[in-house]
Amino acid sequence: MSLTTRMLAPIALIMSIALAFVAGSAYDNAKKIVSSNIVTIEATVVEAVSREIEFMLESTRNYMRLSAQRQIVKQYAEWLLTQKKPDRSAPEQKIFLEQINQSVAIYNYVDSLIFLNKQGTVEASTENMGEGQNRSDREYYREAMLGKSSVQGPLITRTKGYYAFFLGEPVFVNGEVSGVLVGAINMDYIASHTIDPVTMHGKGIVYVVDPNGQIILHPDRQKMIGNAMIEQAILEAISDGGAGSFENERDGMAYYSTFNTLPNGWTVIATVSRDFMMSDVQLMRDRTAAVALAAVCIALFFMFLVVCRVVAAMRKGVQFAESVAEGNLDQTFNIRRNDELGALASALNTMVGKLKNSFEIANRQTREAEEARARATSTYRELQALIDSVDGGVARFALDDSFRVIWANTGFYALSGRTREDYARDVGNRGINVVHPEDGLTMLKTFREHAQKNDSLKAEYRILRKDGGTSWIYLRAKRVGEWEGYPLFQGVFIDITQQKNIIRALEMEQQRYNVVTEITEEILFEQDIATDTLTFSSNFEKLFNRPRSIEHYLRDKHFLEIVHPDDLHLLPSTKSTELSEDDFMRFDARLLTSENTYQWFTICFKVLRDNAGKPTNVIGRLSNINDKKLEEDRLRREAQTDMLTGLYNKMTFKQLAEDMLSEGTHALIIVDIDDFKNVNDTYGHLFGDEVILTVASVVRDGFRSSDITGRIGGDEFAVFAHDALNENVIRNRCRQITARLAEIDYPNGYRISVSMGISFYPRHGKDYPTLFSHADAALYHLKKHRGKGGYAVYGE
């Protein structure tokens, strides 16, 4: 071990241990914080989904209760009581079917409505299916006939064959139950509006189970009610009800789960992969370790430079002493230092000077004898020096069964880590004994095949070194005669172990590259600018169903076929004359995948240049960011709409209306619910929300789907009807909306009344503030001078 190594090794060890301890502690703390945050996020998600499901179920119960109390339902029940065998083509039957079909069409939570007579027979349904069937065995029928509201499920529908929950409401005529109105809850709709939007970055899900562990709501519709049960471990974790969290394993992966039990016994569960949530912490740990390691290396490097200066001076002194010991006295120990090493160098130079004088006297006395001996051996030395200067070994060997070595230079023996004497003692000059056992027979066969030829022989084989290691040898030999009846070869032996190791390392690096491209979702690519060839990693073919190597990329533009037309302008040219000076680019674009759908990708690349600054290659990657883009769009939509009605909020409505103001005729309508404060005070906010939803639905349906509808206040709505060429059409639509709302009969006696103010562009204003102010003035004028209800046009 060198002096430098002995000095630096303890320092490096201490710094590495301290670094490992600090990094490990930080990583453990980060894991604990992330775990706590995951549980908090899941609890928030579960609580929000629970509230949404409770709201939907309660809204559905209210809808069924109000529907059973509607006049048309009671009239139909009375009519059935007068019929021994109802005529299904009778006007009463058709009117009733038309009414309940309209009701289901505007209320998404209920999939269908069914009316059962007092005997439990299906008399009417929204889908005209199952009529005549008897369902008196159903619990919801029996409970309703006792005058109670009931929910039963999951049950398989007899007409469609899928599982659903059924709500039964008694229909009273003259104080007696005369029939049952049954609604099938649209569980798929509820799932799509409560649990489907919650993806947790694509690595988590939210689902709902009943008290028996049967899955009721799930993003995977194949696991919906009646088709799947949760695992026993999860069922035991949530069996006590309430809310909480736990960890579980599934398919070899760990998950964090949080749950909340609803009043009806259903349990909402959110679960997310622990490995996915911890990936950022692990990445942070790796990057921190890399930075710290680099800092340690830099510190060690500077210490190394200091130590090297001292060690270099000491080595120079050792070399000087060795040279003097070998008889070289014509040198001085040149070191300019003012310390002990400088004093030592001065003393050594004085000593060498005195030795030189003594040796000169001795040399003069022995020179004649040395010259004579030198002449005698000059030829031999010159030949031996020439052979020993060969980079490798030179040898003559006989082709017997042992590759007997007849003569060899020092380099030949050194290839196996031996001297000439070692070789004779250890292997008996039998070359076959140092050849690797797997290569020996092949070597003998190759030499015997070339024994009769006069051409050169080339071979690569392995030898066993004295230290137990293995070296690769390149041999180039030729037959030069015979020895004791065996062919005699002479050859040059070169150690190619380093080259072999480099090749092996390159092969391993290629394997690592292939593995990385197979397990990652990113696609790597490289463009050879000289040949105009674009090559992708292997997963490109699977994702885009196109060859991974594209020739004539710039000329034929094959790659551009998968780029969305609206994003083509983003692609820069990679011609050598048009590349950016910073040599790095990054942008987002949509690419057509093998599923024939466009997905968002981040494309970034770096330009490589030669010593002259000329671009030679472009290396980059494609990263799929489609889920991230979709999530951003969803959040943007949520920020633009009213949470209760789903209409545009006030800010978004104003912005969209201003964007559409242009040449033409437009109309701005403000809708106000009359006396809405009294509705909340008298009937409660839940009923008030139902009124808000009803008005929002009627106002939106009263205009074109391309018109803009928004909720601009608690009880105020606005409509921007663009390209309204005929003002009378706008008046008629406002009249129809007020009439339709007035027809809605609530059991508590409340009837909806709205007032509307209208202004037209450009007659009443050429900007949004003016149009809005004039429409609001028309609304105020209507309420003050003509009473509430109806509509008024500004200035009329």
Please, what are the domains in the chain? 53-189 (3.30.450.20), 194-276 (3.30.450.20), 327-387 (no CATH), 390-501 (3.30.450.20), 520-626 (3.30.450.20), 641-793 (3.30.70.270)
Instruction: Pick the range with the lowest mean pLDDT from 186-200, 291-305, 719-733.
Output: 291-305
pLDDT, residue 682, reads 92
Output the pLDDT for position 64. Answer: 85
What pLDDT was estimated at residue 163? Answer: 67
Is the pTM higher than 0.85? The answer reads no
Averaged over 470-490, what is the pLDDT?
A: 89
- Quote the tokens at residue 283: 């990445």
Q: What whole-number distance in Å separates Cα of residue 734 and Cα of residue 792?
A: 10
The pLDDT value given to residue 696: 95
Q: How far apart are CA 298 and CA 315, in angstroms?
A: 25
Compute φ and ψ for 670, nearest 5 degrees.
-105, 130
C-alpha–C-alpha distance, residues 456 and 446, integer Å: 12
Tokens of 581: 């000076």
Residue 369 has pLDDT above 60, yes or no: no
The predicted structure's pLDDT at residue 233: 79
The whole-chain average pLDDT of the chain stands at 82
Alpha helices in 641-781 (DSSP H): 650-660, 676-683, 685-701, 727-743, 768-781
Q: How far is residue 106's CA from residue 104's CA, in Å, rounded to a whole number?
A: 6
Please tell me the least confidently modeled range out of 8-17, 397-406, 703-712. 8-17
What does the pLDDT average to over 65-86? Answer: 86
pLDDT category of residue 711 using cuts at 50, 70 and 90: very high
Q: Which residue has the higher pLDDT, 333 or 152?
A: 152
Kindly state the average pLDDT of the residues 49-78: 85
Q: Span 313-326, mean pLDDT?
A: 71
Mean pLDDT on 518-534: 81
Kindly report, residue by residue over 629-685, the tens digit of the pLDDT. Answer: 888 888 777 778 888 999 999 999 999 999 888 778 899 999 999 999 999 999 999
- Residues 6+ positions from 771 with CB-CB distance below 8 Å: 668, 759, 761, 764, 765
pLDDT (0 to 100) of residue 276: 66
CA angle 628, 633, 636 (to 5 degrees): 125
What is the separation of C-alpha 4 from the centre of its chain, rounded to a whole number of angstroms? 47
Average pLDDT over residues 770-775: 96
211 upstream amide cis, omega within 30 of 0: no
Token pair of 132, please? 């005549």
pLDDT the model gives residue 577: 46
- The average pLDDT across 307-329 equals 70
- Please state the rounded mean pLDDT for residues 399-407: 89
Separation of alpha carbons 522 and 89, rounded Å: 64
* Average pLDDT of the segment spanning 128-156: 85
> Distance (Å, rounded) from C-alpha 41 to C-alpha 633?
21
Residue type, 326: E
Measured distance CA(665)–CA(572) in Å, rounded = 43
Q: Which of 285-289, 608-612, 661-665 has the lowest mean pLDDT?
A: 285-289
Q: What DSSP string describes 97-140? A: HHHHHHHHHH-TTEEEEEEE-TTSBEEEETTS-STT-B-TTSHH
Highest mean pLDDT among 29-38, 257-266, 306-315, 333-342: 257-266
Higher pLDDT, 676 or 548: 676
Q: Give me the pLDDT at residue 584, please.
A: 82
Model confidence at 249, in pLDDT bands (50, 70, 90)?
A: confident
- Alpha carbon distance 525, 27 (integer Å): 34
Closest CA to 700 of 746, 642, 750, 751: 642
Cα angle 308, 314, 317; round to 5: 140
Position 387: which residue type?
I
The confidence score (pLDDT) of residue 279 equals 66
Residue type, 537: S
Q: What is the mean pLDDT of residues 388-413?
A: 85
> Phi-psi category of 161—alpha, beta or left, where left has phi over 0 and alpha has psi -120 to 50?
left
- The answer to whether 194 and 215 are in contact (CB under 8 A) is no
Taking residues 382-393, report their average pLDDT: 68
How far is Cα 640 from Cα 774, in angstroms, rounded to an integer? 25
Question: Under a CB-based contact definition with an 8 Å cutoff, are residues 729 and 748 in contact?
Answer: no
The tokens describing 523, both together, are 């696609």
Unique residue bearing structure tokens 């899955």: 215
Select, from the ranges 368-372, 509-513, 621-625, the one with the highest average predicted confidence (pLDDT). Answer: 621-625
* Exposed e or buried b per residue across 587-602, where buried means at least 16 C-beta atoms within 10 angstroms of its C-beta: eebbbbbeeeebbbbb
Q: 330 with 349: CB under 8 angstroms? A: no
Angle (CA) 322-325-329 rounded to 5° is 100
pLDDT at 456: 79
pLDDT of residue 24: 67
Q: What are phi and psi of 602, to 5 degrees?
A: -95, 125
**Tokens 């007092």 found at:** 118
Pairing mode of beta strands 457-464, 253-261:
unpaired
Task: Confirm if 465 and 423 have CB atoms less than 8 A apart.
Answer: no
Q: Which helix (H) or strand (E) holds 319?
A: helix 274-325
CB 744, CB 658: distance < 8 Å: no
**Rounded distance between C-alpha atoms, residue 762 and residue 428, angstroms:** 113
Whether 379 has a pLDDT exceeding 60, the answer reads no
Helices (H) and strands (E) counted in the chain, each on its own, are 20, 26
Query: Which amino acid, one-letter code, is at 447?
Result: F
pLDDT at 3 over 60: no
**pLDDT band at residue 277 using 50, 70 and 90 as cut-offs:** low
Predicted pLDDT at 754: 95
Least confident range from 123-127, 680-684, 758-762: namely: 123-127
Higher pLDDT, 360 or 235: 235
